Structures are given as structure tokens and as C-alpha cells.
Amino acid sequence: MNTLRLLKTSTFQLAAVYMGLFAVSALVMLAFVYWSTIGYMSSQTDSTIEAEIKGLADTYRRGGLQSLTGLVNERMRNDPDRTMLYLFATPDYKPLGGNLPAWPEAIPAGEGWVNFPFTDNGTESTARGRIFGVSGNLRLLVAMDIADLQATESLLMTAYLWGMALALVLALLGGALMSASVTRRIEVINQTSREIMSGRLHQRMPLKGTHDEFDQLASNLNDMLEQIDVLVESVRHVADGVAHDLRTPLTRLRSKLERLSIGPGLDASARQELDRCIDEADGLLQTFSALLRIARIEAGRHEASLVEVDLLELAADACELYQASAEDQGVTLSYDGSPVTLNGDRDLLFQALINLIDNALKYAGTGEVKLKVGKDKRSIFLSVTDQGPGLSEEDRQRVTGRFFRGADSAKISGSGLGLSLVQAVAGMHGARLELENANPGLRITMRFPADEAVG
Amino acid sequence: MQPVAGFSQPAKAAEFPILGYHPLMRILVIEDDATVADYIVSGLRESGHTVDHADDGREGLMMATTEEYDAIVADRMLPGVDGLTIVRTLRASENHTPILVLSALGEVDDRVKGLKAGADDYLAKPFAFSELLARLDALLRRGSHETVQVTRLQVMDLELDLLSRQVLRSGQAIDLQPREFRLLEYLMRHAGQVVTRTMLLEAVWDYHFDPQTNVIDVHISRLRSKIDKGFEQTLLHTVRGAGYRLGEHT
């Protein structure tokens, strides 16, 4: 099964919709986790700074600037890793003391929260802090290095992005696998249906034994097929039975007529009448035989004797057989093509070809009947073309049905089974029967699959 | 009757005129269906043959091995021992009595199986009695001259040379197409007998099929115009309801 077809299946489309929904909800969930983690971590930093500032402010209120600087100095001493950053500055931001070398640029005047870049032992880092005014327009910046926070933030972001991508890929894979497995099971049912439609009526849907919906569907279809089979079989039995049971008494009738006709004591006109009766009986017998034969072939009960058949040789023999009849009718019968062989039932193929030629001669009137044998990329073909009136589109559809007789065919003898038999023979050989307008006339082509191997 | 090349059987006009000429024979009919058996047995008796009838395979096989028959007609489906087994058993015991197998199945594949088993001919039911008679007749005659290698056939003043592929009528050369030659050869080999259209199709065209129209008749009439035109005595006759016969007019 190719990818494009998989994309078109309804199971895949359903899977795609679920995949979309899944992706959106995963995105929402991850975004929520991300924002709450980052938010919690930032608020931790902020409250640490707030607490520190509160402590410093208390000290300042109690002991004035002196104790504040003392405390800050003490803090800095105890914190060689610079977890907390402090900077005193004049109103014009000249640093007075602290563990930051300079007042960070791009920090607005006044009080409030700021984020600023700074260099920590040679590495670029970011800090977050708060500025507040101390007496005499001095300013104190209390800040914390938030590089870790930012690293965590970007780590989380990366992890979430990868997670999303992975989830999408998994969803895509899962969807494809799911739809492929569903499609495969449906395809099995489709495949079997096609086989059944092509005549293997005894074929059944395979069951997995899991009793799931597909098994139930398959088993229901099987029950249905069973019923169809029974019906078809009974119709066939009736048809075969009628044809067979009528054939025997009809043969006896024919023989009696035959004996009467050659027996003594009949005048010429009675004899003639009897001969006509015999002809009628022969016609009926031939129709019954043809019906039975078609039924046998279509039911696959004809044990085909497959041999390598040269279609060109077949065409040559058929032409030779019909040449005299065609000439009597004023029709030019010819064949051409190249020798092509296929595995088939020689007698049945010959019969089919004879029926086609017979039809062409019957309906084409005068002109030419041409046989062509050949092979192209996809098939081996055998066609019979006449220059007769052809068939209407509608008739072309119906012509292979049993007992179909063309319009104005009342004067033409025949049972209307000729093309049904051709159709049955074609079907048995896996060939298609194509009817087309030959402008003028009709072309009937039997198209066999090129890698002919009759099953 | 004029001497016919290759045929040394004493011939006598039959009571059943469509048969043309054929010798009176002893025939065994092995058939379990009473109606069909009656149909065959009475028909053959009317034609002047002596007929024995067995209605199951075992009895039939016993009769076939203990008695001498000129020909056997055996149904393929029989209770006890089936028709093909009878054929095989007889052939295995060096019994070469001509056997015609009858079958209700009657498709080409059955025919092939029947002939492979060693039967001499095969006829699908239902059949016209004239077809059975014509085929039996051909079998009976064949049995009598099978060993003779014929290179020249003659029927009255019509001569056919199989080696030079020349045909002469009253010494005049007749030009025939290859298929017409084979058709005439077959008719001459069965001179005096009725040959049916099916027999001609099988023997001359080597295909087993139902001709939809009178294609054979057209070929016969062409052949007739070549060999009979301009001669007082016609040789190629149409036998109503059965087929054709080459030989003296009856």
C-alpha cells in the first residue's frame, strides 16, 4: 500500500484529527507546567531579595547608615560566592561600596525591580534586584544572580519543545500504525470481496478469532455469502436440471423423428416437414448444450485442459474454417498479427473465436471481417472487427447477456448465447471482453493479461 | 458394391438405411440407466446387430472378459466398476476390442480422460442415435484394417494418393486445397459409412467445438463441386439428419 493511499484512508484522517487534539492538549499542559515552574522559581528569588531588603531596612531604621553598611559588609564577607549582590551608590550612581564593581548601566532612576547583566568572575551573567533609596539620596541595590534560574528556564523550554516534537512524532507513528492495521484488515475484506465478485463464490472472509468488530463484520459477510451461495447454487441447479432433463427427452424425440423421416411410407412433403422438425430439435439441443456449457464454465466446473495456445495459429485455423462461408456471403475474411502464445483451453478459445467470427458474419452483412492477434505492454489481445452497422452504446452493455439478440435480428438465426459463451471463456482465462465502435462496424477484443497464467 | 481400397469386410445393406453399409456385429452395451440402455439396445438391434446388455460395471467387465465382442459401448458412470476402469482393465489384459465410452459429463476434458484410458471414441450424452451408429461403424471398420498401411485410397473412379497427394477422378486430376484433401481422405477412409459433422470437425480440423452455423456444409459443398461436378454419378451424399457418406448412391 503506498503512502498516498494511506493518507487518504478515513482511519488515517481520524487518527490525524486525534493527533491534532492530542498535540494541542499536550501543548496547553506543558505550557502550564512551564509557566508555573518558572513563576515559582522567580517568585522565590523575588521573596529572598524582599526579605533581605526588609532585614537591611530594619537595621537601617534601628542603627542608621552605620549599622547598615556594617551589616552589608558582614554579609559580603560571609558570602564569598556572591549569592547576593550589594551596591551603594551616590545619587549620580558613583559606587560607594559593595560587591559589584560598577552601577549597572541601563538601570532606570528611582526605585523598583530591575534585571541587569553583570560579569561574574569573567562570565557573563544576569542578575535581578531591587533598588531602594537610603537617606541622603544614597541608593542601595540588592540583587541575586539569576543565571541558574535562566538556565533552568531554557532547559525546561528545550525539554518541553523536544517533548512536544517527540509526542507529535509518536502520535504520527501511532496514527499511521493504527490506520495501517485497520486499513489492512479492511483491505483483506476488500480483496476477498473482489475475488468473490470475480467468480470465486466459495471464497470466504478470513476471521482472526478475536471477535472484534472486524471479525463480526467478516462473519456477517460470510453468512451473507453463504446465503447467496445457496441461492446461486439452487438457481444453477434448476437451470442445469432443466437444460439437462429436457435434453434427454429432446434427443429421444429427435431420434424418433429421424427414424420416421427415413422410414417407408412417407411422401416427399411429409418428409420435408419431418426434416424441418429435426432441424428445430437440433437447434433446441444446441441451445441447451450451450447453456449448460456456459453454466459449467462460469461455475468453474469446467476442468480446463490448459496448454500453450498460439493465438495466431488459432486465428489462422478459424479463418480457414470460415473462409468458404465468408466468400459465399461476399465477405472478405482475413487475419494478421504476430504469433503470441498463452496458457489456455485450446478448444474453448477456438469456440469463442468461432462465435465471434460467426457473429461478425451474421450481422456485418458484406464488407470485411478482420482478425487481429497481438501483444502490447499490458496485454495479449485477439480482436474481430466487422464493417457492419455496429451496436449502440446501450446494446454494447447488454450484448453478452444470455439470449440477447440485436435489433432487427428476427431474420438472423441464432440462440443469442454466442457472446455469453465468449464472455464465459474470456472470464475463465482472466481476459476482459471489450466492445468498441470501429467506425464503421464493431470491434470485439478479448484482452488477456500479459503474464498469462490461468488460475 | 465396388471394391473399396483397404476394406475387406463383407458388407450388407442394413435394415436401418442411414447406416449405409456396415457389417453385422456383436456388441456389448454396459449402461445402468434403463431408458438409455433400452434406447441403445433397441436401436442397435433394429440395425441388425446382436446386442448383449449389462446394467452394472462388474457384470459388464465380466461379460467383456469372458465373451468375444466386436465392440463395447460403456457408460462412464456405472455402479460397481466405472466405465474408465473397465477400459483400463481390458487394455491391461491385452483385450483390444474397440470401446466407445458414453458420458453425461461430455466436456472436452472428460473426452481426453476417456481416450487416455484407452477408449477408442467418446460420445457425450445425450446423443443422436445416428451419431452413435456412425461412430460405432467407424470403430468396427477401423478394427479390421488398422494394421494395413494404406498409401492409396480408391472409391469407384475416385483415387487419392497419400504420397503424391494427388486426386484423380476418372483419371482427371482434381486440384484440392490442403484441408479439402484431408476432408476427402477422411471420407474415403470411411467410404460407405455415414460420417457426422462432429466426426469431421474432430478428425479434419482437430478442434472440439459446436459450429454455430453450417460451416462444414459449405466445405462439403465446395469439395462436392470439385469431385462430383460434371460426372454422372455423384459420390458425396448428404445423409439427412446425420451427416455425409462417400460412395455409391443407395
pLDDT band at B3 (very low <50, low <70, confident <90, very high): very low
The C-alpha cell of A29 is what?
499542559
Mean pLDDT (10-residue bins), chain A, 455 residues: 68 80 85 88 88 86 82 83 81 78 69 77 80 77 83 87 85 82 84 79 82 87 87 76 75 79 79 85 82 77 75 92 89 92 89 90 83 89 87 72 62 71 88 85 89 45
Could you tell me if B208 lies within 8 Å of chain A, comparing CB atoms?
yes
C-alpha cell at B68: 468375444
Q: Which fold has domain A3-153?
A: Beta-Lactamase (3.30.450)
Nearest CA in chain A to B206: A347
- B127 to chain A, any CB pair closer than 8 A? The answer is yes
The dihedral formed by the CA atoms of B155, B159, B161 and B164, expressed in degrees to the nearest 10: -170
Contact yes or no for A262 and B208 at CB 8 A? no
Q: Out of A244, A325, A351, whose CB is closest to B215? A: A325
Please give the pLDDT value at position B19: 45
Nearest to B212 among A251, A278, A358 (CB): A358
Topology classification of domain B22-145:
Rossmann fold (3.40.50)
- Greatest Cα pair distance in chain A: 161
What is the per-residue burial (b if ≥16 Cβ within 10 Å, else e) of A227-246?
eeeeeeeeeeeeebeebbee
CATH T-level fold of A213-298: Helix Hairpins (1.10.287)
> Who among B16, B39, B205 is closest to A321 (CB)?
B205
pLDDT confidence of residue A205: 85
* ipTM, two decimals: 0.75
Q: Using one digit for the tens of pLDDT, what is the confidence trace for B98-130?
A: 999 988 755 556 777 778 888 898 888 778 788
pLDDT of residue A445: 92
Residue B18 at interface with chain A, using a CB cutoff of 8 Å: yes
Of B39, B219, B241, the CB nearest to A258: B241
Smallest CA–CA distance from A354 into chain B, residue: B211
b/e for A406-415, b at 16 or more Cβ within 10 A?
Answer: beeeeeeebb
B162 Cβ contact list (under 8 Å, min separation 6): B150, B151, B152, B153, B185
Whether B107 and chain A come into contact, CB under 8 Å, resolves to: yes
Q: What is the pTM of this model?
A: 0.61
B128/A254 touch (CB, cutoff 8 Å), yes or no: yes
On whether the CB atoms of residues A49 and A81 are closer than 8 A, the answer is no
CATH topology of domain B152-246: Arc Repressor Mutant, subunit A (1.10.10)
Confidence of residue B78 (pLDDT cuts 50, 70, 90): confident
Q: Check residue B18 and report its DSSP letter.
A: G
- The percent of residues above 90 in pLDDT, for chain B, comes to 32
Say whether B212 and A414 touch across the interface (CB within 8 A).
Answer: yes
CATH number, span A306-449: 3.30.565.10
- Position with higher pLDDT, B14 vs B220: B220
Amino acid B90: pLDDT? 93
Residue A324 dihedral angles phi and psi, to the nearest 5°? -65, -45
Cis amide bond preceding A440, omega within 30: yes
Distance from CA of A218 to the nearest CA of B (A): 37
Segment B192-235, tens digit of pLDDT: 888 988 889 888 888 877 776 788 889 999 999 999 988 888 99
Domain spans of chain A, in order of start: 3-153, 213-298, 306-449
Close Cβ partners of A130 (under 8 Å, ≥ 6 residues apart): A49, A50, A53, A111, A112, A113, A114, A141, A142, A143
CB contact under 8 A, B107 and A296: yes
> CA-CA distance, B213 to A362, in Å (whole number)?
10
What residues 44-103 of chain B have any CB closer than 8 A to a CB of chain A?
none
Residue bearing the bigger pLDDT, A113 or B2: A113
Asked if residue B185 has pLDDT above 60, the reply is yes
Kindly determine whether residue B108 and residue A261, on different chains, have CB atoms separated by under 8 Å. Answer: no
Min distance A338 CA to chain B CA atoms (Å):
22
With an 8 Å Cβ cutoff, is B213 touching chain A? yes
Q: Which residues contact A35 (CB under 8 A, 6 or more apart)?
A: none
Q: What's residue B105's pLDDT?
A: 58
Please give the Cα distance from A207 to A138 (Å, whole number).
Answer: 88
How many beta-carbon pairs under 8 angstroms link A with B?
Answer: 94
Q: Which three cell numbers stand for residue A101?
A: 564593581
Identify which has the larger pLDDT, B136 or B22: B136
Domain boundaries, chain B: 22-145, 152-246
